[in-house]
Amino acid sequence: MAETKALDKRALYRFPWSMNDNPIGWLEITDICNLHCEGCYRQTLSKHKTLEEIREEVLFLKRWRNPDNMSIAGGEPLLHPQIIEIVAFIRQQGIKPILLTNAIALTPDTLRELKRAGLAGFTIHIDSHQNRPGWQGRSEAEHNELRQHYADMIAEVGGLYTVFNSTVYPSTYHEIGDVVRWGRQHIDRVHGLVFITYRTATTEDTVGLDAGSHVVDLSQLSYSTEHFDEAFVTGPEVVQAIYQTEPSYWPAGYLGGTLRHDSFKWIAGALIGNEHGIYGSVGPRAMELAQVVHHFFRGTYLAYLSQSRIGAKVFALSLIDPAIRAAAGRWLRDVLRHPMHLFSPIRLQTMGIIQAPDVQPDGRADMCDSCPDMTFWNGTLVNSCRMDEYRLFGGLLTVVEKGKQAVREMRETQAEPAGES
Ligand code: SF4
């Protein structure tokens, strides 16, 4: 087992993304879903949006986000009756459409139609806390069978970028390695893995306050639960779990938090390998070059590649990137031992980690700096993970301990000018 290795922001590339120049446009086309995942941020309040509303949102995001790709999310976007037209409209705007789905409604016929409409790829959410019919009580390793089913179905059609994401709970942290090992074995059709660390607000010991300090019913939010006393998994802990499984993995870039100087909110990297094994990882220098060159020539930053098969030309980046140089050395030694491996295409497999909002002692939440998943709400941009606070309560909440709220109320009462009633 590899030893743990410290994650140092100074040794990583900080992505240059911002509110108005961000590779991702986050588009929610429905809030209806056919599953009830434990870690979901959305509940059904408004149902399917009309095609007209969706087109307006796409144009808004195109104007104010400058996206390279549009993440079509929900709810479950495959349930929207006009999903094909939506994908086609996004492609007509010169933006890569990526479908974020649980894939339950995905069939080979729909897949072909989506590809014809211009779909660039999928991010398929599968994890063991989704309560999928027939899959309850089964481990992450067992869910690899389901991941494999969809990876094969998409590979059959070909030409679509395929990422699998899963929410990581304290109880499933030790199973991250099972998913990484599965992905490593199928690098030809699994182009990326994303791990999202579970967060929730608790109603037993905290209350939510709106912008006017009024107490609101926190239990209305899907991301609240009565009681949760386990320690949340952090992004750097997920890095260690991947590293223990694949010692040639190390991240290349990050986004920090909006409040804490030391938080890691997005951690991104990519493995370099082929069906014979993993040779190493992309380093921060190559990650920086990819962002800068893409922005220079295409005018946008980059979050999703168009294809994972990049070939041995990636090793030319050895000149500027020591991590790629190390991978090139391992690949060369492998080819000298097994000359036929020279003909196995070199691929990238991206590794993403997202550490969702962390509530701080003062009740505010540490969010992702330059949030890549901001979405349209009421003519403005909001963090999609907290949009239900806007939809239900008109804005972001602060969460405070019940005792502290009592003290705050007492202070406010005492501060009221005498005689005013
Ligand atoms: S702050 Fe943005 S990127 Fe981070 S979890 Fe929330 S929506 Fe996602």
- Residue 307 vs residue 95, higher pLDDT: 95
Sign of the alpha-carbon dihedral angle for 35, 41, 46, 51: negative
Q: Tell me if 149 is assigned to some domain.
A: yes
Token pair belonging to 387: 């949009």
Nearest alpha carbon, ligand 1 atom 5: 356
Name which of 121-125, 248-252, 312-316 the model is least confident about.
Answer: 312-316
Domain count, the chain: 1
419 band by pLDDT with thresholds 50, 70 and 90: very low
Write down the pLDDT at residue 409. Answer: 57
Residue 65, H or E segment: helix 51-65
Tell me what pLDDT residue 242 has. Answer: 98
| Ligand 1 atom closest to Cα of residue 265 | 4
Contact assessment for residue 280 and residue 326, using Cβ atoms and an 8 Å cutoff: yes
**Atom 2 (ligand 1) nearest CA:** 371
**Amino acid identity at 48:** H
In a domain, 258, yes or no: yes
In a domain, residue 402? The reply is no
How far separated are the first and last CA of the chain, in Å rounded? 68
Distance from the alpha carbon of residue 374 to the mean position of ligand 1, in angstroms = 7
Q: Over 60: is that where the pLDDT of 411 sits?
A: no
pLDDT: is 402 or 152 the higher one?
152
Provide the β-strand partners of residue 317.
none
- Domain assignment of residue 86, given as a range: 10-199+233-387
Identify the burial level of 133 via C-beta atoms within 10 angstroms of its C-beta, where 0-12 means exposed, 13-18 middle and 19 or more buried: exposed
Judge whether 394 lies within some domain: no
Q: Where are the alpha helices (DSSP H) in 137-280?
A: 140-157, 176-185, 235-245
Q: Is 279 part of any domain? A: yes
Cα 373 to ligand 1 centroid, rounded to whole Å:
5
> In Å, what is the CA distance from 96 to each residue of 62, 93, 238, 318?
11, 9, 28, 29
Question: Does residue 414 carry a pLDDT above 70?
Answer: no
User: Is 421's pLDDT higher than 50?
Assistant: no
pLDDT of residue 310: 87
What residue's CA is closest to ligand 1, atom 6?
A: 385
Look at 401 and 301; give whichever has higher pLDDT.
301
Q: What is the CATH number of the domain that holds 375?
A: 3.20.20
> Ligand 1 site: residues with CB under 6 angstroms?
265, 354, 356-357, 367-368, 371-373, 383-385
Question: pLDDT-derived band of residue 163, with 50, 70 and 90 as boundaries?
Answer: very high
Confidence of residue 405 (pLDDT cuts 50, 70, 90): low
Residue 272 inside a domain? The answer is: yes
pLDDT digits (tens, 9 = 90+) for 313-350: 999 999 999 999 999 999 999 999 999 999 999 999 99
Q: Which stretches within 82-139 are classed as H helix?
A: 83-92, 108-117
Whether residue 394 has a cis bond before it, omega within 30° of 0: no
Q: Is residue 174 part of a domain?
A: yes
Q: What amino acid occupies position 185?
A: Q
DSSP 8-class letter at 227: -
How many Å lie between the centroid of ligand 1 and the Cα of residue 370?
9
In a domain, 207, yes or no: no
Residue 221 CA to residue 351 CA, distance in Å, equals 30
> What pLDDT was estimated at residue 404?
65
